[in-house]
Amino acid sequence: MLTFVLVVIWIGTAGSAVLFGLDYYLLPLPDRAFSSLASLYAPTGLVGQGMGVVGSAFMIVGVSGYTARKRLSFLQGAGSLRDWLKVHIFLCTLGPFLVLLHTTFKFGGIVSIAFWSMAVVVTSGVFGRYVYVRIPKSVNGSFLGLQAIRERAGTLTEEIGAKTGIPAAQLASVLATPASATRATSLVSAVGIALREDVRGRRHVRSVRRYLRSKNVPREMHRPILGLAREQRKLHQQMLLLQPFQRLFRYWHVLHLPLATVMFLILGVHVTVAILFGYTWIF
């Protein structure tokens, strides 16, 4: 539910910001200074500068809030780490988009450095999220080991068998990752396997649904069983990708934080220069 709400807010906010300023953004660069809309949507305008301020604030809150939730003990009970990560991603993608509108798609000097450093951080963040969700975790967010994954996969097979009355041995052959799937031996092959299995996921769900129909499993049971089947498949995929993805995530974590630090340092320089030139928005 939280994901749906955040996606709706993201699309609504970003879409409205683009729609209201579209006439200005579509103007050729030489004509923008003479437009009556410049006082609103130019980088120094009321709305344009405001989007830069709000976008920067979103990124600062998104990074500092998620970091505090992970590291400060008194925040451990303040919602799940998964929900905090969702809010972190929401703020740290919407914020850069608003900053992009603040630049009016015109880059130069320190603004160019600030923008591209931000783009690299956002791109690495999206990739990090892709890797992170494919590493099995416990309720408290710590990574699971291979044995724990196998135990959970076996438990799910038993749950599905209990719901359908189908022997566990038959279910295992239907629900498990195909035998042709190879275990990842490198970081590149791990990403390749993950992408391939993402594409195959829909086909797998359809095959399980056909299997349930062939066994005359009542239709009202299909949805919960397919949910268990998806988790079962996900666990089998994670067994293939566990070690390389954990290693990849550690490498990513080492790079992402310094990149974010550099981005905020450049952002600080940009804000300082803007204030020295008298651009203080509504303050």
Contact between residue 132 and residue 256 where contact means Cβ atoms under 8 Å apart = no
- Is 24 buried (19+), middle (13-18) or exposed (0-12) by CB count in 10 A? buried
Contact between residue 59 and residue 91 where contact means Cβ atoms under 8 Å apart = yes
| Residue whose entry in the numeric block shows the structure tokens 């998620």 | 66
Q: What is the pLDDT of residue 175?
A: 61
The CA-based angle 44-50-53, given to 5 degrees, is 105
Q: Hey, how many other C-beta atoms are within 10 angstroms of the C-beta on 210?
A: 11
- Taking alpha carbons only, the member of 207, 229, 210, 214 closest to residue 163 is 229
Q: Splitting the chain (283 residues) into consecutive groups of 10 residues, what average pLDDT does each group show?
A: 89 94 89 88 90 91 85 77 85 89 78 72 73 56 56 69 70 57 60 70 76 76 72 66 64 71 81 80 72
pLDDT, one tens digit per residue, over 78-98 is 877 778 888 988 998 898 899
Report helix, strand or coil for 137.
strand
CA distance 200 to 188: 19
